[in-house]
Amino acid sequence: MNAISHDVSKPAIAPGSEGSKLAALNAWVAEVAALTQPDAIHWCDGSDAENAKLVAQMQADGTLIKLNEQTHPNSWLHRSHPDDVARVEHLTFVCTSEQEDAGPNNHWMSPADGHKQMDALFAGCMKGRTMYVIPYCMGPIDSPLSRCGVEITDSPYVVANMRIMTRMGAPALARIEREGKFVRGLHSIGELDPERRFIMHFPEELTIKSYGSGYGGNALLGKKCHALRIASHQARNEGWLAEHMLILGLENPQGETHYVAAAFPSACGKTNLAMLIPPEGYRAQGWKVWTVGDDICWMRPGADGRLYAINPEAGFFGVAPGTSRKSNPNALASIRHDTIFTNVGVTADNQPWWEGIDNGDTPVTDWRGNVYDAAKGPAAHPNSRFTVSAKQCPSYSEQAENPAGVPISAIVFGGRRASLVPLVFEARDWTHGVLVGAAMGSETTAAATGAVGVMRRDPMAMKPFCGYNFADYFSHWLSFDKTGAKLPKIFHVNWFRKGDDGKFLWPGFGDNLRVLEWMIQRVKGEAGSIETPIGHLPADGDLNLDGITLGEEARAKLFGFDHAGWQAEFASIGEYLDEYGPRMPQQLKDEQQRIARDLAG
């Protein structure tokens, strides 16, 4: 084991290094230690022995509770502070020198004020605690598309999660030593006081400071803070894209695999689509879905002009509620062992439990650790999650480890829309597709604190995650359409359209394969459609509906085009684009106006 716990009176030098190659890292660690004053410093090597020691320590102090060893070997329950259960968008800042660069889509503070405010919180905050230094790599360790970071944290729970979610430890440190460049993430759980909680990003300095939360995207800094907010800024400068997208491979009966990247807002179906199991008839023919990633996608044009994508993550931090053998058998198979569950309920025999698990069990304890009482709310928090290695997923694609990435044939945008938006439509071209992404709307979910079910604009599912001005982000997207580019087709889906009775009209989950099939046929020029002002919709017979029954209302709403409704929607999209002023690319405004005129005429 390389890791050493340092007495803070000694210099905190990275293990295995002599001399200056890690000088910047060592200097930063020393600077943070001087500010936060931990009792000890531990450099994480990512080994099993290190993990076992940390887990034992967390079991002893109650941070982790052991689950039923027979049914869920080596699996743990963590109960977070009840006020710390989701991302906090209102406390998340992007600190750029110019406010305009952060854009109206972000909360902004000047870098000087941001550092001042955060450093005051961090001063002495690790007294009595151990400071963990976590070197990590986002993406396959040998991929040129990957990027490294170091997270410093005082939370052993964060260390255990980062070990699953990233390539963490010695190999990452070796790459950092080679490259010299890394994203700096400083995190402390602080007092877990919502009044003393901020997540700040300094994209110009490749730096993150997060204080006062131990939960998910607030604390596992490799995930949303690095791989989306900081990476989107880097991607813009370097000519690539960092997106809130799943990546899947769709294998047809002929054995061809097409890769699809899809952006849906938080808790809107990425994990489920990425792990889809085809309906019975399709399975018999040989259709298969391979999982490359379920949350984040980094894409870059290859020498052949196509976009190549990697999943920067190594694990899944997936939504528990609604996950069942019926809805997502691959997820359920993944989490049978070596899994950390956060904020779920438990059964009498100590198995994890959540609403929609649908396995005949009943909960006795809720996510807070109280006796379960249905009158007091759900047993599992609506944003309860599982953390598990991607390697445990039966559908995990070996291509996810390919350093070159996978070529993307289709990009899909989608939202949670009870009304108006049909099941699927295809954009006419790249510019139209970028507008479709920019105009995305979705009803809010429990993944962030605040009201649930409120429709808001969430362009490309990046509203909470774009590290710079959305106007510049859309320009960057448009810039990919250049000579020699072989860009994917762009589609929009809505699995969440409701009928007059308030129920979902589309069966969803495995049956979403029918929509993927149509998309790939469109890519290959093999399927029909009808053109409307909003794009191409499948006409009667274009999409295979064999084996499912849809009533008249369902057919009309899933495949119909509500002219008056879209007129109003396009007026609202125009107003939204105008909120960004002259910085919004004219090309996108022209596209919006052209469609608005089409709808009027």
Which residues carry out catalysis? Answer: 268
Q: What is the DSSP letter of 498?
A: B
**Nearest-CB residue for Mn ion:** 295
Nearer to Mn ion, 115 or 223 (CB): 223
Helix axis angle, 430-438 to 470-478, nearest 10°: 160
Nearer to ligand GTP, 157 or 495 (CB): 495
Q: Identify what 50 binds: ligand GTP, Mn ion, ligand SPV, none; CB under 5 to 8 Å per kind.
A: none
Instruction: Work out the widest C-alpha separation in the chain, in whole angstroms.
Output: 76
Nearer to Mn ion, 233 or 385 (CB): 385
Closest alpha carbon to 400 in 130, 133, 53, 167: 167
In single-letter form, the type of residue at position 143 comes to S
The annotation status of 511 as a binding-site residue, yes or no, is: yes
Binding to ligand SPV by CB under 6 A, coded x per residue (else -) over 289-308, reads: ------x-------------
> C-beta of 120: minimal distance to ligand GTP in Å?
32
DSSP characters over 413-437: EE---SSS--SEEE-SSHHHHHHHH
CB of 189 closer than 8 Å to CB of 154: yes
Q: Distances in Å between the alpha carbon of 221 and those of 139, 201, 479?
A: 14, 10, 29
> C-beta of 447: minimal distance to ligand SPV in Å?
4
SS (H, E, C) 276-313: CCCCHHHHHHCCEEEEEECCCEEEEECCCCCEEEECCC
Structure tokens at 438: 């920019």
How far apart CA 144 and CA 311 sit, in angstroms, is 13
> C-beta of 273: minimal distance to ligand GTP in Å?
7
Asked if 151 interacts with ligand SPV (CB under 6 A), we say no
CB of 410 closer than 8 Å to CB of 423: no
Q: Identify what 224 binds: Mn ion, ligand SPV, ligand GTP, none; CB under 5 to 8 Å per kind.
A: ligand SPV
Asked if 266 interacts with ligand SPV (CB under 6 A), we say yes
DSSP characters over 362-396: -EEE-TTSSBP-GGG--SS-TT-EEEEEGGG-TTB
Binding site for ligand GTP (CB under 6 A): 264, 266-272, 294-295, 318-319, 321-322, 327, 447, 495-496, 504, 508-509, 512
Nearer to Mn ion, 131 or 276 (CB): 276
How far apart CA 535 and CA 432 sit, in angstroms, is 8
> C-beta of 272: minimal distance to Mn ion in Å?
12
Binding to ligand SPV by CB under 6 A, coded x per residue (else -) over 405-424, reads: --------------------
Backbone φ/ψ region at 44: left (φ over 0), alpha (ψ -120 to 50), beta:
beta
Region from 55-63, 179-187, 217-225, 232-240 binding ligand SPV, contact rule CB under 6 A: 217-225
The annotation status of 356 as a binding-site residue, yes or no, is: no
Nearer to ligand GTP, 92 or 431 (CB): 92
The annotation status of 139 as a binding-site residue, yes or no, is: no
Burial of 15 (0-12, 13-18, 19+ CB in 10 A): middle
- Ramachandran angles phi, psi of 338, nearest 5°: 45, 55
Of 431-450, binders to ligand SPV (CB under 6 A) are 447
Q: Identify what 327 binds: ligand SPV, Mn ion, ligand GTP, none; CB under 5 to 8 Å per kind.
A: ligand GTP
> C-beta of 512: minimal distance to ligand GTP in Å?
5
The annotation status of 270 as a binding-site residue, yes or no, is: yes
Question: Residues near 217 by Cβ (< 8 Å), separated by ≥ 6?
Answer: 87, 223, 224, 225
> C-beta of 386: minimal distance to ligand SPV in Å?
12
Binding to Mn ion by CB under 5 A, coded x per residue (else -) over 290-319, reads: -----x------------------------
Provide the pairing of β-strand 76-78 with 340-342. parallel
The annotation status of 267 as a binding-site residue, yes or no, is: yes
Contact with ligand SPV (CB under 6 A) among 217, 363, 422, 433:
217
Nearer to ligand GTP, 269 or 535 (CB): 269
> C-beta of 151: minimal distance to ligand GTP in Å?
20
Structure tokens at 177: 């030593």
Q: Identify what 472 binds: ligand GTP, Mn ion, ligand SPV, none; CB under 5 to 8 Å per kind.
A: none
> C-beta of 413: minimal distance to ligand SPV in Å?
15
Burial of 62 (0-12, 13-18, 19+ CB in 10 A): exposed
Contact with ligand SPV (CB under 6 A) among 6, 163, 175, 224:
224
Asked if 101 interacts with ligand SPV (CB under 6 A), we say no
The annotation status of 311 as a binding-site residue, yes or no, is: no
Q: What angle do CA 555, 559, 563 make, to 5 degrees?
A: 115
3-state DSSP call for residue 92? Answer: strand
Nearer to ligand SPV, 169 or 217 (CB): 217
The annotation status of 576 as a binding-site residue, yes or no, is: no
3-state DSSP call for residue 41? Answer: strand
Nearer to ligand SPV, 63 or 266 (CB): 266
User: How many residues in the shown chain lie near ligand SPV by CB under 6 A?
Assistant: 9
Of 305-334, binders to ligand SPV (CB under 6 A) are 317
Q: Distances in Å between the alpha carbon of 110 and those of 94, 103, 186, 201, 283?
A: 9, 13, 18, 11, 54
Taking residue 350's Cβ as centre, other Cβ atoms within 10 Å add up to: 18
Asked if 184 interacts with ligand SPV (CB under 6 A), we say no
Binding to Mn ion by CB under 5 A, coded x per residue (else -) over 242-281, reads: ------------------------x---------------
> C-beta of 393: minimal distance to ligand SPV in Å?
16
SS (H, E, C) 557-581: HHHCCCHHHHHHHHHHHHHHHHCCH
By CB under 6 A, name the binding residues for ligand SPV. 87, 216-217, 223-224, 266, 295, 317, 447
Annotated binding-site positions for GTP: 267-272, 385, 416, 509-512
Annotated binding-site positions for substrate: 87, 215-217, 266, 383-385
By CB under 5 A, name the binding residues for Mn ion. 266, 295
